[in-house]
Amino acid sequence: MRYLPLSDTDRSEMLARIGVKHVDELFADVPKNLLLKEPVDLPRRKGELDVERILSRMSAKNIPASSVPFFVGAGAYKHHVPATVDHLIQRSEFLTSYTPYQPEIAQGTLQYLFEFQTQVAALTGMEVANASMYDGSTGTGEAVLMAHRVTKRRKAVLSGGLHPHYADVVRTLSEMSSDDVVTMAPDVAGAEDILSQIDDSVSCVVVQSPDVFGNVRDLKPIADKAHQHGALLIAVFTEVVSLGLLKSPGSMGADIVVGEGQSIGNALNFGGPYVGLFATQSKFLRQMPGRLCGETVDADGNRGFVLTLSTREQHIRRDKATSNICTNSGLCSLAFTIHMTLLGEAGLSRLARINHANAVKLADQLSGVKGVEVLNETFFNEFTLRLAKPAAEVVERLAEKGVLAGVPVSRLLPGAGLDNLLLVASTEVNTDDDRAAFCAALKEVL
């Protein structure tokens, strides 16, 4: 509060007006175990030059992803982004534009959003796509809320292969609305019996493929069982490049497809901003969150674009909104569209095949290291290792040797008894030298 230019009297009047005695009451919904017991260990005040020096020293402790062999994934992936993408999105008409509240004036913005939607629908095998979400995790939460609206039920079943962060978002939203969530146990082998959880009380089943452990899933049997009971299948992905090689979720019967689009056009960016992809069947169009751009003609018969559907609370009455999402990550979706346009269908397929081939090479080499077991039968560009030592300890040791080796499962699922499991991702940026360095360092550490 010390940085807000308000007096104690100002604060007291504000709190009295909204009917609370102390500012801490405004954070009552935050779990107590997540609240800090004392201020963050930073200097209370410094001049601008001092702050710059301190932060520079802190940032120097980081190992940039581009400076060493890098095999980290688990929902955010290092891919090559063509220089053309950054050059174009930094043009002032793109970089400074925001939500088109007078949309028909912003024909350029509407056109690229329309093209973005077209690309996402084609990738996912669905009939309609919206003009993007915050990211994959919040998009998944929105998909579950949408399924509840469609089915008039309030129970979601989450696969044990769903990324834990995505599952956390769903549970957080569900807790606020008193919805029921069944979360299955972590499914390292991709062999869970999720069909047994589907009955007439279920609104939706949420399944990720490739899942958080790298397993590629056949969604068709799950979709069939869900539809028998009037439930929806929500198909999730965290690695959008996989859609260049695998069957589309739509072709396997998914009702809603949602995921992270960061891998195309967007760098790691310290964890964001990213862009959520969201697509569904046309019969569910009115329940889709966010907004949708459409094509039309003007009074003279010329091609034009409009906001066809605007179901978020900034456009219509709050009680009629399907979502209160307040941005569509427009610049990130533009980066996605530019990169996809540069790739084309053939380019995306080739990129996906390179990713898979690199991952297979790495898995084959790592499986030859004593104390390493590759757990996956099938995978795209990410897989799970069982190590002879705790994975978190191994990752730290490898970082000291100049290799960023992956994400310990214990970091995503603390206390689940999976301490020796390591998630490893390999994309088109990894070279033979990178793989050799990883294997050599791992042999030393183990």
Give the model confidence (pLDDT) of 276-308 as tens digits.
999 999 999 999 998 899 999 999 999 999 988
Banded pLDDT at 74 (limits 50, 70, 90): very high
Banded pLDDT at 44 (limits 50, 70, 90): confident
> Considering the domain boundaries, does residue 389 fall inside one?
yes
How far lies 154's CA from each of 150, 311, 332, in Å?
10, 21, 32
- pLDDT at residue 8 above 70? yes
> For residue 319, what pLDDT is reported?
73
> Considering the domain boundaries, does residue 55 fall inside one?
no
- pLDDT at residue 326 above 70? no
Q: Could you report the per-residue pLDDT of 96-120, keeping only the tens digit for each?
A: 777 666 777 888 889 999 999 999 9
Nearest C-alpha neighbor of 197 from the set 187, 209, 210 = 187
> Considering the domain boundaries, does residue 54 fall inside one?
no
Is the domain of 102 the same as that of 191? yes
Give the domain-ending residue among 284, 306, 340. 340
Supply the pTM of this predicted model.
0.91
SS3 state at 398: helix
Is the domain of 168 the same as that of 214? yes
- Alpha-carbon distance of 406 to 392, in angstroms, equals 9
- Return the H-helix or E-strand segment holding 227: helix 220-228
- pLDDT at residue 310 above 90? no
Domain CATH number, residue 369: 3.90.1150.10
Domain CATH number, residue 141: 3.40.640.10
Greatest distance between any 2 Cα atoms in the chain: 72
Is the domain of 259 the same as that of 356? no
Residue 445: CB atoms within 10 A of its CB come to: 21
Specify whether the CB–CB gap between 147 and 256 falls below 8 A: yes
Is the domain of 69 the same as that of 104? no
- Alpha-carbon distance of 386 to 397, in angstroms, equals 16
Strands 256-260 and 291-297: unpaired
Banded pLDDT at 41 (limits 50, 70, 90): confident
Is the domain of 363 the same as that of 240? no
Residue 149: CB atoms within 10 A of its CB come to: 15
Is the domain of 77 the same as that of 90? no
Specify whether the CB–CB gap between 424 and 405 falls below 8 A: yes
> For residue 42, what pLDDT is reported?
82
Banded pLDDT at 6 (limits 50, 70, 90): confident
Is the domain of 116 the same as that of 253? yes
Is the domain of 126 the same as that of 226? yes
Its domain, for residue 36, covers 8-48
Q: Could you report the per-residue pLDDT of 205-251, keeping only the tens digit for each?
A: 999 999 999 999 999 999 999 999 999 999 999 999 999 999 999 99
Is the domain of 301 the same as that of 250? yes
DSSP conformation letters of 9-35: HHHHHHHHHHT-SSGGGGGTTS-GGGS
Number of domains composing the chain: 3
Is the domain of 366 the same as that of 392? yes
* Burial environment of residue 296 by CB neighbours within 10 A (0 to 12, 13 to 18, 19 or more): exposed
Q: Could you report the per-residue pLDDT of 379-437, keeping only the tens digit for each?
A: 999 999 999 999 999 999 999 999 999 999 999 999 999 999 999 999 999 999 999 99
> For residue 313, what pLDDT is reported?
58
